[in-house]
Structure 1
Amino acid sequence: MKIEIVSTDETLISLFKRTFNNADVKNVNSLNSISTTNSTTNVLILTDEFLSHTDFVDYNFKKHNYVFYVMRNEIMDVLESTIKAMCVGNEMYYISARLTNEQVVSEIKKVLTPTEKQKKHVYSFFSSVSNVGSTSTSFSTAFSVSENTSAKVGLLILNAWDSGADYINYTGKYLDEVKDSMFNSHYDDDGHFQDLFQEVKKDSLYIMLGNRNTKLERLYTKEEIEKVIQRAEDIFDVVIIDAGCHYDNANIIQALYSSDYHFLVLNQQEKLKRKWEEIYSNILSPLGFKREQFLLVLNRFHNNPSMPSVKDLKQSYQMNVLTFIEESTNGYLAEFNKQSLYQFEDLKYRESVNVIGRTIANSAGFEFVDSSKKKKLFSF
């Protein structure tokens, strides 16, 4: 296999050469012009620095087995959808600018040398608008998994617009406090990195809250967020992420990209569907996400004939509904006492959340034993 890269990104080129210069790849050449590409090259990697999508029609890419178009410049969401469509039409693979260099190489490697996907045991919660309950649901799910399995659970609040401080009396480090030092080798030590989290229960549940600094809402880099998630993967059996609902920052995209399961938290409001369709069409679909990759969690659900039913929402969103959670009467108390809703003796609520917890446990290879059922069995 012969690979040619047309790019000015020396870091990306160097990473390609380290990754692909092996027995299966004869050579990896870097070029500074598309006109110098060789017709015998199996794999051609182009960046938008040298070729605009408007000029696709001027070139014949069919002489290569694989052509990857790698975006380096951030663009409007609508334009991204258009460029991806043009890539598909020209039998090219589209690689979004939202990915880190390592992720770009990883995506290309998956196409060239496909292997069985390794489970990451990372699970993200997100929504299409704010105040729907992705944070409260991620907190409750973290408690569900930690209470009912032997897994060591790490909860990351990666919402750039909300620290998630409503459900815990917090003493750990916040995301904004570690932003500038995340690449310090100090955090390569598992113990030092784990110390950033608040230990809720030893070897069971650890929590790191999100951003409190409004100046940083859009200033987290892809690499910083990826580093936080990767280090969490290293030390926890299960990583649960609250990614929020704001798609104008790297936090949510990296969280979704790094996750095995994606739990879309919604309620029965009609405006959520309109907003979701905009986000899916303009952002998530161009990134390669499919509807079947998302599981719906219907929060604050009302069994009211005048409101959409579970079946209605399943058909409307064209996604599977994993569970519905009826509105809890303990919502105010949870925020006032800084507790997770899962910590209240509301069996119906806990059972609904346990559907998510059981799904995660099974995916991560842990037995889920419902502690509330055991308590009920031995109560008199």
Structure 2
Amino acid sequence: MKMYAVSADRRLLEALRLSRHYDSVTSVTKEMVSVLLMDESEQGWDPEEKSSSFLQEGNQGGAKGLELTSNRHGSGKERTGTAIVHGDVWLVSDTLLDIHEAVALRRRYPANRLIYMLSNHADTLALKAVQTLCAAHGMHYVLPYRTPEQVAEETAGICLDREKTVSKVITVIGALPQTGLTSSLIGLGVMLSRLSGVRIGILGMNGWNPGDSGLRYNAKYLDELWGSLQGKQLQAAELHSKMQQLAPRVHYMAGNRDLKKLYYYQTDGVSWLIEKARECFDIVLIDAGSYVDHALAAQSIHVSDLLLVQMHQGQQARTQWRRMHEHILQPVFRWNERQTMLLFNKMHRSPNFENEKQLSRQMDMSYIGSLPYVASFHRSEAESNLLNLHWPEYDKELQKVSQAIMHYYSLPSVGVEKEVNRGHSQILQGRERKVSWFGWMKSAREA
């Protein structure tokens, strides 16, 4: 199987070759495609030779390129080259060929697989239209915000029908800012580690809020490390020293403080940080904030096994979530093809408010947990002692979410429920565990 890449990204070509999934990887220019798409009669080709044109490999500026040749009748000689045969793959960037040119190339070589690389567009409807055209013409596509290595792996998955591997990464996004996402995620990380005994890394990928309130944070921030991340210099062995230890086996890195840097962050550096965290920890939890149309959140969503959407009972949260889904998550990330669940926070128990079951039905999404509103939470946050206080009902819900995640990843329990509850009468009884609400979740090995 040969790969023909219509892309100006030399790093992508190198990643495709290093993947060793293809017999050869050849760069094709936009001008070369234009010649291939010309009417055969203008080229003097026999229509019966429509699918047996030849491409002669050559060097163009040190990069592997193509030179068109043909086997014309009456020419007196036949030139040999690289024949495009059944089973070969075209990888086409939308920065070089628009969707109409890509569809024309697909019609020109119907026996070849064509994968279209999408860029992020400001026009949501235009992006959806391109995806619809790809589906209509039997073309696969790769979504935006991928690194060259991720594009190479994704194309290999398409060509070789390989399933996505389990990443042990869970990303949480907020329907609105100030829903308590960071504090609840930190609490979840600490609880999950206590119950399972695994190493937990928590990464702040919120581009608008570093997530250091409520803590006496004295470690590195994401923006401080960006140079070593984008240059791929930071190694996994160094990561612990850059993060703050919140509890035994639990480390946290706060996010971005410099608002001017947000849209300068690139997918390569973000991917590098997540990959190093995966080497250091058994489970990685990511706080992606409430605005997800940037590289920090995009990579976090792309690599995750589970996407948790944190929300409260306010109508504005539901409205904003629908807007985020329609404009970003569905067209850019295809979120509905992923395992997505609700995580409620700041929930009021009152007949004046809808409960989590009602909200879940209204939004047609399953929920994984419902954290109650705690009146004293604001004071503990102001005093930076969130990790030192415990609320029985809050901890009980954190246990449920943690046990659901343990079931999903088939993590063993270390049997420390009494230590976790610290004297609270919230220990789950054996009968309750047997009929637990999270039994429906597939384990990661089955997902």
TM-score (norm 1): 0.90
Structure 1 residues 323 and 198, CA gap change in structure 2 (3 angstroms)? same
User: Residues 292 and 319 of structure 1 are in contact (CA less than 8 Å); yes or no, is this contact kept in structure 2?
Assistant: no
What displacement does 1:289 show?
2.2
For this pair of structures, how many residues does the alignment match?
373
Structure 1 residues 60 and 206, CA gap change in structure 2 (3 angstroms)? closer
- Structure 1 runs of 4+ aligned residues shifted over 6 Å read none
What displacement does 1:376 show?
4.6
What displacement does 1:126 show?
0.6
Query: Match for 1:79: what amino acid?
Result: A
Aligned to 1:90: 137
Alpha-carbon distance in structure 1 between the residues aligned to 2:120 and 2:173? 26
Structure 1 residues 258 and 249, CA gap change in structure 2 (3 angstroms)? same
User: Residues 87 and 113 of structure 2 are in contact (CA less than 8 Å); yes or no, is this contact kept in structure 1?
Assistant: no
> What whole-Å deviation, never above 9, does each CA across 1:356-380 have from its counterpart, x for those lacking one?
222223334433332335745799x
What displacement does 1:157 show?
0.9
SS of alignment partner, residue 208 of structure 2: coil
Matches within 5 A, 1:1-380: 1-21=1-21, 25-32=22-29, 33-35=32-34, 36=36, 38=84, 40=86, 42-56=88-102, 58-61=104-107, 63-72=110-119, 75-183=122-230, 186-188=233-235, 190-202=236-248, 204-286=249-331, 287-290=333-336, 293-340=339-386, 343-368=388-413, 369=415, 370=417, 371-373=419-421, 375-376=423-424
Alpha-carbon distance in structure 1 between the residues aligned to 2:232 and 2:220? 17
> What whole-Å deviation, never above 9, does each CA across 1:266-293 have from its counterpart, x for those lacking one?
1112222222222222322232321661
TM-score (norm 2): 0.77
What displacement does 1:122 show?
1.1
Higher relative contact order, chain-length normalized (CA < 8 Å, sep 6+): 1
Alpha-carbon distance in structure 2 between the residues aligned to 1:120 and 1:71? 23
Q: Which runs of 5+ in 2 are unaligned?
A: 37-54, 56-83, 428-447
Aligned-pair RMSD on alpha carbons?
2.5
> What whole-Å deviation, never above 9, does each CA across 1:44-98 have from its counterpart, x for those lacking one?
1111133112445545447134211112565443432222122112221121232
Alpha-carbon distance in structure 1 between the residues aligned to 2:195 and 2:388? 13
User: Residues 149 and 361 of structure 1 are in contact (CA less than 8 Å); yes or no, is this contact kept in structure 2?
Assistant: yes
User: Residues 347 and 372 of structure 1 are in contact (CA less than 8 Å); yes or no, is this contact kept in structure 2?
Assistant: no
Query: Match for 1:143: what amino acid?
Result: V
Query: Match for 1:97: what amino acid?
Result: P
Query: Match for 2:142: what amino acid?
Result: I
What displacement does 1:233 show?
0.5
Structure 1 residues 77 and 149, CA gap change in structure 2 (3 angstroms)? same
Structure 1 residues 12 and 291, CA gap change in structure 2 (3 angstroms)? closer
Q: Tell me which structure has the larger Cα radius of gyration.
A: 2
